[in-house]
Amino acid sequence: MSRTWIIVTEEKPVAALAAAARALGKTVAAVVVGPRALADAAALAGPDEVTWIDAGQDRGVEAFAAPVAGLIAGDAPKAVLAGASPESRVLAGRVAATMSASLVPGVLSLSMAEDRIVMDRSGLDGRVIETLEAAGPVVAIYAGDDIPAATERSGAGAAVTPLVAEGVADIVIEKTEPAAGADAGITKAQVVVSVGRGLRKKEDLSIIRDLASAVGGEIGCSMPVADDLGWVEKDRYVGRSGQHIAPRLYIAVGIQGAPQHLEGIRGARIVVGINNDPEAPIFKASDYGIVGDLYEVVPALLTALCN
């Protein structure tokens, strides 16, 4: 029985990758590129076998694309899954090329239909799910939610076999330093009240501040409020190019809910949208919402919170 392979360069998605691979009903083999600790963590997160390539200190993980591709292509699997991080993706691209496999990004789940791989994939920024079928081997870039590794596992997890890599590319990490705004208050806040272009003028920020202090939260915003308008500090905007945050409560006030904004709050537990447009995409990404004018709703919330 051949294996289904997973490509691992960070700990977060391993359990979900292993579970998605498991659905294809074969042995799940992981190749881990990184430090030993990552291989050990991966071994506990679900795969049956782990091959570990030590990436060392200064090499980019991407430098190991050729050995990873050689290892996996040599096994001729029907399916390979990789996480969506840039490093994992580069490895996946080389694997697909070496195996002459199809490469499909955004994959949420896989199954077999006779000898074909069937995939559900997130499309149009999450607005649809597309079902795809592949005739030949597939490398899937997995985009489903992370899941925690099972805590009570019997035994010590999969065995870790080191592999000495050959054909390592010349990709060198010159330096790593904290990104600007990496320690901004918003990054650790449990509650964030975020404001968008629904706000008419800078002075009106005071009602957003009042709401933030009433719920014990920090102020955040959408990109244009910080970038174009300059009403809020740049290290407080949330989204793809801004802060990625995981508060227990995120209240989006007068924010449309653009996909680039939503990328920043994937880890939030409860999302609340306040918007006067019932069709605003923020409501698709929210747990709760109030359809109404923020200039009426925010003061009403302040009153309700006092009781």
Partner 1 sequence: MKTVIVYKWARNPEDAAVRADGTVDWRNARMTAGEDDFAALEAARAIAPEGELIGLTIGDGDASWALARGVLQAVAVTDAAPLADNAATAAIIAAAIRRIGGVDAVVIGDSEEYSGVPVALAGLLGWPAVAHATSAEAAGGRIRVVRKQGRNDQTISLATPAVISIAAASPEKKVPGMKELLAARKRPITRQTLADIDAAGPDGVTTKGTRLPDGAAARLFDGDPANAARQLVAALRDEGVL
Ligand X SMILES: Cc1cc2nc3c(=O)[nH]c(=O)nc-3n(C[C@H](O)[C@H](O)[C@H](O)COP(=O)(O)OP(=O)(O)OC[C@H]3O[C@@H](n4cnc5c(N)ncnc54)[C@H](O)[C@@H]3O)c2cc1C
Give least dist CB 29 to ligand X, A: 36
Strand (E) or helix (H) holding 90:
helix 86-99
Residues ≥6 apart with Cβ < 8 Å to 89: 82, 105, 141
DSSP state of 152: -
Residue 291 makes contact with ligand X by CB under 6 A: no
On the 0-12 / 13-18 / 19+ scale of CB atoms within 10 A, 86 is exposed
Of ligand X, partner 1, none, which one sits near residue 194, judging by CB under 5 to 8 A according to partner kind?
none
For residue 73, give the nearest of 93, 44, 47 by alpha carbon: 93
Report the alpha-carbon distance of residue 80 to residue 73 in Å, rounded.
Answer: 10
Query: Considering the rule CB under 8 A, would residue 289 count as an interface residue with partner 1?
Result: yes
Q: From the list 271, 280, 290, 301, which residue makes contact with ligand X (rule: CB under 6 A)?
A: 280
**What letter would DSSP give residue 237?**
B
Give 222's strand partners.
none
Sketch the per residue contact string, 205 through 224, with partner 1: x for CB under 8 A, - otherwise. ----------x-------x-
Q: 21 vs 195, which CB is nearer to ligand X? A: 195
The 157-196 site mask, x for binding ligand X (CB under 6 A), equals: ---------------------------------------x
Binding to partner 1, residues 78-137 (CB under 8 A): 84, 86-87, 89-90, 92-98, 101-106, 118, 122-136
CB 189 within 8 A of CB 217: yes
Number of residues that bind partner 1 (CB under 8 A): 89
Distance CA 230, CA 233 (A): 7
For residue 135, the partner it binds in partner 1, ligand X, none, with Cβ less than 5 to 8 A by kind, is partner 1
Residue with tokens 């607005």: 127
- The interface with ligand X within residues 219-278 (CB under 6 A) comprises 222-225, 237-242, 254-256, 258, 260-261, 264, 275-277
Instruction: Indicate which single residue of 151, 154, 176, 206 sits in contact with partner 1 (rule: CB under 8 A).
Output: 176
